[in-house]
Amino acid sequence: MDLVELTEEIVKSLVVNEDAVSVKEFPTEEKNVMLIQVIVAEEDMGRVIGKDGKCANAIRTLVQASSALKENKYVKINIDKF
């Protein structure tokens, strides 16, 4: 499972409207940096970010740990709404 699929699985397990979840990788100018853009429905934003951003930070930590084991890239995850 690659990092985009992992991120999508984690986010879909948190939201109510799974069909509105979109996870894509975008290129960056930095060599060992991967940017993952997560888009969810507006009503699911709170579930994905969590209180004080704890859920979003946990997602970032899990994906970064997986990256360290496989690709060894720094992962940036941006979360936005429709």
What is the per-residue pLDDT across 39-69, written as a single tens digit (0 to 9) for each? 999 999 999 999 999 999 999 999 999 999 9
The domain segmentation of the chain, as residue ranges, is 3-81
Distance separating alpha carbons of residues 41 and 70, to the nearest angstrom: 30
**Cβ pair 67, 75 in contact under 8 A:** yes
What is the per-residue pLDDT across 18-38, written as a single tens digit (0 to 9) for each? 999 999 999 899 889 999 999
Classify domain 3-81 by CATH architecture: 2-Layer Sandwich (3.30)
Q: According to the model, what pLDDT value does residue 23 have?
A: 97
Q: According to the model, what pLDDT value does residue 71 have?
A: 79
Query: Is pLDDT of 1 > 80?
Result: no
